[in-house]
């Protein structure tokens, strides 16, 4: 039950705030906190370096976490799993290492208008450096991508297609496998931002046929500071290191270096072993709950919220009218009330939501909304919390002086 699940999350149990900002970062279960603590208490040594027993134990814990991530994504090889700080770093790694390797003047990168800035700004930078150009896949008002329109945009000049798996504004799940087929038809690669999908739906990178896939641990109930980049082994092998320094080399001379094998050539310096172990615990926790149960709770809560909001004049939800197509993300506006005022008033009621452009300014400009409010739900939220959100939203205009 949700009440039992909530006991696993200390912040939800111990604080009075109603936390509806999981799309920004998720709360952490006790098992994740304990896993990190245990690493520092029992295994604290620099992984991959010391040949003594403690160093070997630290290395084993770190590599166990990598294998757990491989299974979570159904990657073919553990070598295809690179630990990074977050999805942003993973996407930058692909842009600068792979993009700089393959792009030349006249080439094109195709990105969706729905991208978080993390999967847009790196491509803008690489285009400036290589002479490639950026093109956009525009979505329909409900967030769907028309694959016929996408197909018309893909040409032999297209080298990279970049798309979010789930929009952090609209909650829409994009047709990644179909995009992969269109990209591969012209020899392009598909880069997927999975930051919002991994907390909500099963991900199988082989079934999706993604070439690269990045996600952040802190959004999937794990620690901040750890993320993952999956890449096809043959692509990663061809790419130069993104960062250079310790541990990512086989040998160094005065004149050059031989880089380590995958995935270590992309993990320069002391690795974030404790957070990797925490991510391992988070993935185990997600498996113990199960995506089916998580999805059922999130859809039920989203439906409760959207049904009630649909009865409120002056309140508008962006995206699909179907609650099951939102992945727990409810982005909305209230006529005459600035989203920052919405957020502040709700905060005074003890309800934590997000307001602003959600690091997706091109999408909001396309939708003709400079900023919006966003409540993002997770399986650990309750009906009473949703009702508190709805009570606050229903009084917003009155409290701003518009009358009843």
359 catalytically annotated: yes
Beta strand residue intervals within 303-358, DSSP E: 315-317, 329-334, 351-352, 354-356
Closest CA to 375 of 335, 336, 319: 319
Q: How far apart are CA 296 and CA 95, in angstroms?
A: 36
Q: How far apart are CA 267 and CA 47, in angstroms?
A: 12
* Beta-bridge partners for 249: 259
Q: Which of 31, 139, 327, 359 is catalytic?
A: 359
Three-state secondary-structure class, residue 397: helix
Q: What angle do CA 270, 85, 113 make, to 5 degrees?
A: 155
Burial of 321 (0-12, 13-18, 19+ CB in 10 A): exposed
What is the DSSP code string of 149-210?
HHHHH--TTEEEEEEESB-TTT-PBP-HHHHHHHHHHTT-EEEEE-TTTTTTS---HHHHT-
Catalytic residue numbers read 359
């Amino acid at each position: 039950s949700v009440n039992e699940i909530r006991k696993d999350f200390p912040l939800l149990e111990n604080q009075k705030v109603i936390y509806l900002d999981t799309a920004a970062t998720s709360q952490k279960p006790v098992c994740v906190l304990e896993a990190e603590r245990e690493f520092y208490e029992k295994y604290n040594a620099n992984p991959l370096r010391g040949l003594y027993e403690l160093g070997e134990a630290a290395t084993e814990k770190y590599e166990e976490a990598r294998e757990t991530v491989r299974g979570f994504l159904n990657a073919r090889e553990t070598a295809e799993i690179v630990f990074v700080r977050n999805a942003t770093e993973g996407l930058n790694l692909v842009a600068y290492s792979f993009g700089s390797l393959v792009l030349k003047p006249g080439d094109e990168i195709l990105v969706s208008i729905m991208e978080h800035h993390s999967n847009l700004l790196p491509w803008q930078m690489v285009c400036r450096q290589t002479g490639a150009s950026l093109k956009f896949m525009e979505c329909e008002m409900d967030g769907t991508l028309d694959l016929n329109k996408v197909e018309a945009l893909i040409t032999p000049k297209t080298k990279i297609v970049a798309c979010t798996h789930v929009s952090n504004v609209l909650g829409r799940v994009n047709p990644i496998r179909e995009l992969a087929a269109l990209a591969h038809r012209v020899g392009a690669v598909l880069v997927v931002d999975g930051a919002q999908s991994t907390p909500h739906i099963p991900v199988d990178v082989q079934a999706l046929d993604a070439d690269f896939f990045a996600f952040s641990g802190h959004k999937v109930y794990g620690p901040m500071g750890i993320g993952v980049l999956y890449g096809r082994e043959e692509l990663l092998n061809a790419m130069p290191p993104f960062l250079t320094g310790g541990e990512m080399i086989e040998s160094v001379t005065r004149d050059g270096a031989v880089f380590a094998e995958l995935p270590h050539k992309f993990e320069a310096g002391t690795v974030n072993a404790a957070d990797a172990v925490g991510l391992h615990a988070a993935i185990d926790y997600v498996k113990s709950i199960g995506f089916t149960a998580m999805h059922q709770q999130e859809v039920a809560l989203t439906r409760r919220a959207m049904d009630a909001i649909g009865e409120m004049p002056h309140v508008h939800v962006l995206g699909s009218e179907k609650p099951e197509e939102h992945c727990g993300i409810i982005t909305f506006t209230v006529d005459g009330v600035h989203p920052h005022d919405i957020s502040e008033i709700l905060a005074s009621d003890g309800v934590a939501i997000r307001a602003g452009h959600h690091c997706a300014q091109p999408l909001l400009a396309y939708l003709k909304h400079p900023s919006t409010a966003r409540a993002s739900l997770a399986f650990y939220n309750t009906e009473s919390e949703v009702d508190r959100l709805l009570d606050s939203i229903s009084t917003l205009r009155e409290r701003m002086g518009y009358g009843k």
